Structure 1
């Protein structure tokens, strides 16, 4: 309810002894007189200051209840996101985790230009079997990662331990680039500061071994693995 002066206007009708008292439909801060009267030709509706105060209190209590419900929902969503993040981490003994750990342990402080060699060795250390490629981009274009058990996923997916990203080749970078995620950093032959080792914008694809934790991992669902 907004505030007005609360003053009333009185009109006398010559042929009728009744008096229509009209007030603004809003209320003063201190409610003016002891009663606010809304009248029509069919009769008057009277609301006391106590009744108005009670209505305001009820609205305030309702608003607070909605605030509590919103805070509870926000807390629940935050908890579920934390659970999902934990669910998307493969076992430390799984092939993706072993490859990522190996890459991280031998990473250099800066690029040596041998990203394909470093990532290839990390994948082979974890047990992935494939024929090495001379260029990084070929691990995607020749089907090497796909044949080794990786599936191409959306670039918008939250990174998971063991995910591999392959950048396309360009005139500036004819061999492309390959890297693996260790849970905190993207690792190629060195520990990168971010997803891309380049300053510009380049096309890339993201690969994940979904035999361990598939794209449903963001819902906390693990896949069963058959022993080989």
Structure 2
């Protein structure tokens, strides 16, 4: 069905209407003809058009943000999203939980290559503090219990570096994973931020989880099979062994 263009009495464009209806309005004197081709009519009365409300400004617009990155794949969608919100993102690597050292280096090198490809500035914590990590989780080796001090250790260091280097915000790619405890990450992030005088951006980023797998594959990034620590590695290997024994 042909559609006519419609303007209000002030010449502002409105939603179109069927051409037959437009011709009837012309015949009834409720509109005047603006153009035959394309058929355009102007209403004889004003229409109250509500003003479009501007989108609320992102709190990150123009802000320098130090992003704790646990691995390259989790960085893909997260960096893209935070950049779209207007943040000036710098990555931060500090993951003493990752075991063994060869795995730590493989993940670090994967991130380094991706950061270089994307032009992402990075801050690298130079030391591998595995003994300190084992000390803070020694009393809570069970999954869930050990994650809390692990989050705290990494987010406290991120907040400390953010404050030292003049960043307004910190955030973490841990927020993208449904395998991590979102509430505890938020609590620890805000506590770390308050201690060091910065702000923690705590958006639930899990809606990007599926897309981050696609992006990681697209960029050819190494994708690990366990969270990182020696306990999660043991749990992953135990599950694999159990699966093989049932086969």
TM range, normalised to the smaller chain? Answer: under 0.3
Comparing both structures, which one devotes a greater share of its residues to helix? Answer: 2
Instruction: Please tell me whether Structure 1 or Structure 2 has the larger radius of gyration of its CA atoms.
Output: 1
TM-score (norm 2): 0.26
